[in-house]
Amino acid sequence: MLKSTSLFFALIISAATIAQKNLVPNGGFDAPGKKIKAGGQIDLAAGWESPHDLKADLYSTASKSDAYGAPDNVYGRETPELGENYAGIMVYSYKNTKPRTYLQTTLSKPLEEGKVYCVKFWYSMADLAKFSCNNIGLNLSKEKLTSNVIDKNVIKPQIMHSQNEQLGQQYVFEAVCRTYIAEGGEKFITIGNFVDPTETKIVKVKRPSGFSKPQTTIGYYYIDDVSVIPLDSLREDECICEKGASRSMAVVFNENISTEHELEDKHIVEFTQLHFDSKSAELHEDSKKDLDKIVEILNEETTFKLEIQGHTDEIEKTKAAVTLSVDRAKMAKQYLISKGISTDRLTVAGYASEQLDNREGTIGGQAKNRRVQFKVIK
């Protein structure tokens, strides 16, 4: 009995310590003194908002509306992962008949350049939603994302499931988390589906037993317990979400090209960088999306030829480094060829660690160096 009591209090202390280090001021969507009466009232949760006119929903065990209560509500049944509240967002609607909704908040302080953070959110697919979807993610940005920017479908969420799978978990919350190396100055997070609706993969899900109401032809998810925490303040097991994953597997540098400025096609291609896990040449899902944009440009600019340049970091500086850098370039080339780009327009080169993009020697700096970049040759 004494041992179990000690464990209970240890867990409470650990949770409280993590909450203090969380840069998301209200990760559990608390709304003290507020009573939810209808949908679209995410603004009642301190610090949270939606960038569009159609607002995200807020659910609470203290709601005055049965439709937006917890655990039972208009879209099914779910118990909060943290505290008494959680949010709800629509990420897809059949034939795009309804606008998507998003969650947005401001961090308690900006992220520090080169520092590694564990970024996590918990999701549960609503029982009465017809579709499970992929492309659900979290974006970190230096400026607050507006509805106009989001609607261009060019925002790249840095935090997604590693395989960008359709998220079909029901009945209980499940975490999505990645480690993120900050550019420095990121102060806002936005959660939702930022990809063109036609590119969202969906799976029809049968209505769970125990519900009599018909399903709604949308993809709808409950979101709770959002956190951004410095990785060095966590235990080894506190930033592992996916089965079979290790904490080191997800340390990949993420860099967004500005969406506020119009760039020439040549510059878009040459600004694009693909980043890799240590000692790996495997393409990530976000890299494939970058390559898809290059395919579009190459199909329009038929005179463009590319030199695809592979690089390694200093830690990978071995006899095999040149081979690894070439392999990374070849993976990008093979992907472009698979999308219909002629092989005679593509050449590869491997530079190992001869042309470092960052010389800081930090984890973040090394991740920046593990890259493929492109040079346009007309």
How far is Cα 7 from Cα 203, in angstroms, rounded to an integer?
41
* pLDDT the model gives residue 244: 43
Dihedral of alpha carbons 199, 204, 210, 212, sign: positive
Cα–Cα distance between 75 and 128 in angstroms, integer? 5
Alpha carbons 178 and 367: distance in angstroms, whole number: 14
Domains of the chain listed by start with CATH number: 2-252 (2.60.120.260), 262-377 (3.30.1330.60)
Q: What is the DSSP letter of 51?
A: S
Residue 58 CB contacts under 8 Å (≥ 6 apart), including other chains: 29, 31, 36, 41, 42, 44, 45, 68, 85, 86, 87, 88
Entry pTM = 0.66
Asked if residues 311 and 325 have their Cβ atoms less than 8 Å apart, the reply is yes
Residue 87 tokens read as: 């949010």
Q: Do 190 and 102 form a contact (C-beta atoms < 8 A)?
A: yes
The pLDDT tens digits for 119-163 are: 999 999 999 999 999 999 999 999 999 999 999 888 989 898 877
DSSP per-residue letters across 307-351: EEEE---STT-STTHHHHHHHHHHHHHHHHHHTT--GGGEEEEE-
pLDDT in tens, 196-252: 988 899 999 998 888 999 999 999 999 999 999 998 888 766 777 654 443 333 444
The percentage of residues in the chain with a pLDDT greater than 70, rounded to a whole number, is 85
User: Residue 196: which of 334, 56, 58, 292 has the closest Cα?
Assistant: 292
